[in-house]
Amino acid sequence: MKIKTVDLFCGVGGLTYGLQKAGIPVVAGIDIDKSCEYAYEHNNKCQFIAKSVDEVTGKEIKEFLKGADIKILVGCAPCQPFSNHQKDKKNRDKHKDWKLLYEFARLVRETRPHIVSMENVPELAKEKVFSDFIFILKAEGYFVSYKVVNVADYGVPQRRKRLILLASRIKKIELMDATHNQYVTVREAIGNLPPVAAGEKNETDMLHIACTLSELNLKRIRHSTPGGTWRDWPEELICECHKKEKGSSYASVYGRMRWNDLSPTITTQYIGYGTGRFGHPEQDRALTIREGAILQSFPATYAFVSESDEIFLRNIARHVGNAVPPRLGEIIGLSIQQHIKKRKYTRRKNDG
């Protein structure tokens, strides 16, 4: 059967890449951030539409899905309004991106794809916009399931909890069970990469590049042990803010990762030594762009910029941190494949 998928809020293509690896063809990705276009199209060989989802019409989506036996709409609406890192938690619904999940629901109504998948932060499940999203899907005749998973259970070398929703107009659909009872470690993921110093890059991979560290931060990281905290440092190296009661609880910042453990959640700021436990287990620096991407389960060859482009580290780090881990995308794709195969089996059985 011919399958076509459109990926809303596609970014640099983590979800698209994973779906296609699972055999779910994607014909187009839509995202307002045009700086994602090269990475999306180059790695996934499908069309990038630089447009805000609230400006996209059902007619446009239908055109992309035209001729398919199975039509799929997927996406990860921006998670910033729902994240625990959102500073103004009392006014989450005032965030500019809050309404985008409603726009996702609108496009489901207007296009009525056979299958829908939505990925986001676990905190979304507590919000009215999520219950409204489910209500709309059910009103349109969809079977809906969702659960919070740790992506490490599916082979991503990272602690990262995500909310995964699957819906189908065909029959019940669920995310497949965990595939890994033994986690992929930091060492297994990035231990074979060549060493680089802070402020330097590898000659053969322009994205294996680490940010420069100040002399003070170089002293700090040299006193840091894998899995330790800034409390291990000499008194004169501790930040003034951490000496205060309010700052004393932020023990993981300026930390080193451990080789034989998972990485922490790769955020949009993972290239900064002081923004989390993003210190390399051995080398005196924070993670490189490439290391963070691999810990997100992107292949080591994934091109985020062309060879002629200027490299803006923070911009690429933002793209990597915001991405759906490709391996999780693959799991979603495999779950959809299982669902489709069960449907075909039921059809043959009923026809007989």
Q: Which residues are catalytic?
A: 79
Amino acid at 198: A
Hey, what are 70's tokens?
Answer: 């199975």
CA angle 179–180–184, rounded 5-degree value = 135
- Six token digits for residue 252: 């993981």
**DSSP class of 317:** H
Using alpha carbons only, give the angle 274, 34, 99 rounded to the nearest 5 degrees: 80
CA-angle at 221, arms to 218 and 224, nearest 5°: 155
> Where do we find the tokens 């109504």?
109
| Backbone φ and ψ of 329, nearest 5° | -60, -40
Residues 325, 302: Cα–Cα separation, whole Å: 13
3-8: strand order across its sheet: 47-50, 28-31, 3-8, 70-75, 115-120, 161-168, 143-150
In one-letter notation, the amino acid at residue 50 is A
Is the CB of residue 328 less than 8 Å from the CB of residue 151?
yes
Tell me whether strands 70-75 and 115-120 are parallel, antiparallel or unpaired: parallel
Any idea which residue has 């349109």 for tokens? 140
Q: Which helix (H) or strand (E) holds 8?
A: strand 3-8
